Amino acid sequence: MGTTRSRSKNRNSGSKTERYSYHPRQQFEDSDMFIRWKTIDHYLKNDCLLTQAELQRLDDHVYSASDTSWLNNLFMKDFWEFVVKFYPLWLAPNLITLIGLIVNLFTVLILSYYCPTATETAPSWVYLLSAFGLFAYQTLDATDGKQARRIGASSPLGELFDHGCDSASQVFVTLNVCYALQLGTVRAAVFVICAFSASVFYSAHWSTYCIGQLRFSKFDVTEAQMSVIAMLLTTAIFGPQIWSIGILGYSLKHLLVTISFLGTAYQTLGYLSVIINGGVGRNGSTVAGTSVLFPMFPLLAVVVPYCMVYSKSNSKVFEENISIFVLQFGAVAAKATNRLIVAHMSRSELGLWDWIYLSPIVLILNQYYDFIFTEKKLLIWTTVYAYTSLLIYCFFITRQICDHMGIYCFTVTRPPSHSLQGKPAVNSMTKK
């Protein structure tokens, strides 16, 4: 088992009880992020920005992880250590993370172009390209932190950027499975699997918010991604019809989905067990001193509305545009997970409302009032809004942390000295 624990130079020497005590959100101070337009500044203050106290606690963040992954400890860590030696020293860790995300997104979008309803058969090279994209993403995602430690550019921003990109790409990885197995032939299968996958990912960070440590099980992210890569390669060679072979009276793809469901359910129960047994804060609270059960409500606020929208639709718009529908859901789930990660790292209470929820709310209202707008057009526009909201949030959070810590996000050079007056030096918290 590998355990990683890195400490910030600015870490307080107070007791555990003091460290994990409750800190109500203070009155928001003026910020350089404001554009001096009252409505937009109000949106930024309540949706995108951290208070000065939250930024200070972010400086004090301690990254801790326990890794018992089979493949990681067997040979993948050695492979990643080998790969990182080829990176130039000027290559910023966050840029590595971003490149991996873009590659994964690009290959998934190509596959979704050929399989928009997850019932079509794509050319073999498209499945091969998706397998390569996922492997490239996995490698880049695993080596960004190693590059950060190699060049001395580690920071809390690196951990946040890494996990934030993971939350956004999680739906892309799941869609690869749906396209390879042609799960669009089963009603609601694509959405259910993506919703379940997003919930498991959220639960992993929920447990981290409770105990302050990210725990990887023996069969975790690396094993799951390698399984998806093997599935894509098999589909490229034999075609998606290979998964329709009957075994014991059941098709192979149904058996694979059932086994995957049982495995992830077992993993989720492990996360829930950690949560129910209480956090590290006072009286079993979270790292922010808040209830360990409250993060359940943002998760429900993401999943329940989309279940309502999908189940109440009398048309086949969502089935015929399942890729767009699931991508929108993935954006909303990613922002909820990002908020949870930020709350964990800054030891802050988690809010319930998020303006990105307007996407499913508008879809629900359109159904309630007998389709004022065309469902497909509204689905496209609400998806655009969801990703715009997610990108705005990520941009302002990243920029605010960079300004606070006096660093750049995508280069290893520091800003000019005159721009760092009054700003703390970069701490040495290991990224990953």
Q: How many CB atoms lie within 10 A of CB 388?
A: 12
Q: How many CB atoms lie within 10 A of CB 1?
A: 9
Residue pair 415/408 in contact by the 8 Å Cβ criterion: yes
The DSSP H or E segment spanning 216 is strand 214-216
Give the 3-state secondary structure of residue 67. Answer: strand
Question: 2 phi and psi, to 5 degrees?
Answer: -105, 130
**CA 354 – CA 47 distance, rounded (Å):** 7
pTM for the structure as a whole = 0.89
Q: Cβ neighbours of residue 257 under 8 Å, at least 6 residues apart?
A: 181, 183, 189, 193
Closest CA to 165 of 196, 148, 140: 140
How many Cα neighbours within 13 Å face the side chain of 100? 28
Q: Cβ neighbours of residue 404 under 8 Å, at least 6 residues apart?
A: 55, 58, 59, 423, 424
Residue 403: both structure tokens together: 């300004």
Query: What DSSP letter does each residue of 74-123 carry, written as one string?
Result: IIIHHHHHHHHTTS-TT--HHHHHHHHHHHHHHHHHHHHHH-TTS-S---
Task: Determine the longest span between alpha carbons in the chain, in angstroms.
Answer: 71
Question: 246 phi and psi, to 5 degrees?
Answer: -85, 135
Residue pair 100/166 in contact by the 8 Å Cβ criterion: no
Closest CA to 122 of 191, 176, 171: 176
Q: Show pLDDT as tens, one digit a residue, over the chain (432 residues).
A: 555 554 444 444 455 555 666 666 655 555 555 555 677 777 778 788 888 889 999 988 878 888 788 998 889 999 999 999 999 999 999 999 999 999 999 999 999 999 999 999 999 999 999 999 999 999 999 999 999 999 988 889 999 999 999 999 999 999 999 999 999 998 899 999 999 999 999 999 999 999 999 888 888 889 999 999 999 999 999 999 999 998 888 899 999 999 999 988 988 999 999 999 988 888 889 999 999 999 999 999 999 999 999 998 888 899 999 999 999 999 999 999 999 999 999 999 998 899 999 999 999 999 888 877 888 999 999 999 999 999 999 999 999 999 998 899 999 876 665 444 444 434 333 344
Give the distance, in angstroms, between the CA of residue 265 and the centroid of all CA atoms in the same chain: 19
Query: Would you name the residues annotated as active-site residues?
Result: 163
